[in-house]
Structure 1
Amino acid sequence: MAKRTSVPRPARTILIGFLLALLIGTVLLMLPPSTVQEGGIDLLPALFTATSALCVTGLIIVDTSSYWTPFGQVVILALIQIGGFGVMSFATILGYGVTGRLSLGSRLTTATEAHRPVGNIHTVLLGVLRTGFLIELVVFLALTARFVTLGHGAGQSLWLGLFHAVSSFNNAGFALFPDNMMQFVGDWFIGVPLMAATVLGGLGFPVLHQLAKDFRWPRKWTMNTRLVLFGSAALLVLSSIFITAAEWTNPETLGPLPVDEKILAGTFQAVQTRTAGFNSVDTGAMHDPTLFGMDLLMFIGGGPAGTAGGIKITTVLVLFFIAWSEIRGRTAVNVLGKRLSRSVHRQALTVLLLAFAVVFTSTMLILAMSHYTLNDVLFEVVSAFGTVGLSTGITAGLDGGSQLVLIALMIIGRLGPITVATALATPGRRRATELPKERPIIG
Structure 2
Amino acid sequence: MFTAHPARTVVLAFAVAVLVGTGLLALPAAAAHGGSSGALTSLFTAVSAVCVTGLAVVDTGAHWSGFGEGVILGLIQVGGFGIMTLASLLALLVSGRLRLRLQLTAQAETRSLGIGQTRRVLLGVAGTTAVVELVVAAVLALRFGVRYGRSPADAAYHGLFTAVSAFNNAGFGLDATNLTPYQRDPWVVLPVAVAVILGGLGFPVLLELLRHRHRRRAGRRAWSLHTRLTLLTTGLLLAVGTAVTCALEWTNAGTLGPFGTGDKLLNGFFAAAMTRTAGFNSIDIGALEPATLLFSCVLMFIGGGSAGTAGGIKITTFAVLAAAIVAEVRGERDSVILGRRLSSQVLRQALTVALLGVGLVMSATMVLLTVTDEMFEAVLFEAVSAFGTVGLTTGITTELPASGRLVLVLLMFVGRLGPVTLVSALALRERTRRYQLPEERPVIG
Report matched runs for 1:15-414 at 5 Å. 15-86=11-82, 89=85, 105=103, 119-149=116-146, 150-215=148-213, 216=216, 217-414=219-416
Stretches of structure 1 lacking an aligned partner (at least 5 in a row) = 94-101, 110-114
Q: Secondary structure at the match of 1:396?
A: helix
Question: For 2:236 and 2:424, how far apart are their aligned partners in 1?
Answer: 28
Contact 2:14 2:83 in 1 (8 A): no
Give the letter aligned to residue 126 of structure 1: L
Q: Deviations over 1:77-98 (max 9, x none)?
A: 00000000016949x99xxxxx
Question: For 1:346 and 1:106, how far apart are their aligned partners in 2?
Answer: 23
Q: Deviations over 1:212-238 (max 9, x none)?
A: 112432112111111100100000000
**Aligned with 1:14 (options 10, 14, 18):** 10
Question: For 1:43 and 1:424, how far apart are their aligned partners in 2?
Answer: 26
Contact 2:201 2:308 in 1 (8 A): yes
User: Aligned-pair distance for 1:308?
Assistant: 0.2
Contact 1:376 1:392 in 2 (8 A): yes
User: Aligned-pair distance for 1:358?
Assistant: 0.2
* Change over 3 Å in CA distance of 1:360–1:179 after alignment to 2: same
The number of equivalent residue pairs is 425
User: Aligned-pair distance for 1:431?
Assistant: 2.4
Contact 2:297 2:381 in 1 (8 A): yes
Q: Secondary structure at the match of 2:176?
A: coil
Contact 1:89 1:305 in 2 (8 A): no
Q: Does 1:440 align with 2:437?
A: no
Q: Secondary structure at the match of 2:204?
A: helix
Farther off after superposition, 408-417 or 179-188: 408-417
Question: For 2:48 and 2:212, how far apart are their aligned partners in 1?
Answer: 35
Question: For 2:201 and 2:130, how far apart are their aligned partners in 1?
Answer: 15
Contact 1:88 1:128 in 2 (8 A): no
Contact 2:11 2:422 in 1 (8 A): no
Contact 2:356 2:419 in 1 (8 A): no
Give the letter aligned to residue 188 of structure 1: P
Give the letter aligned to residue 132 of structure 1: T
Contact 1:362 1:405 in 2 (8 A): yes
Q: Secondary structure at the match of 1:274?
A: coil
Question: For 2:183 and 2:168, how far apart are their aligned partners in 1?
Answer: 21
User: Aligned-pair distance for 1:416?
Assistant: 2.2
Question: For 2:113 and 2:132, how far apart are their aligned partners in 1?
Answer: 26
Give the letter aligned to residue 134 of structure 2: L
Q: Secondary structure at the match of 2:348?
A: helix
Q: Secondary structure at the match of 1:186?
A: coil
TM-score by length of 2: 0.91
Question: For 1:116 and 1:32, how far apart are their aligned partners in 2?
Answer: 45
- Give the share of equivalent positions with the same residue, in percent: 48
Stretches of structure 2 lacking an aligned partner (at least 5 in a row) = 90-99
CA RMSD of aligned residues (A): 2.5
Question: For 1:432 and 1:341, how far apart are their aligned partners in 2?
Answer: 21
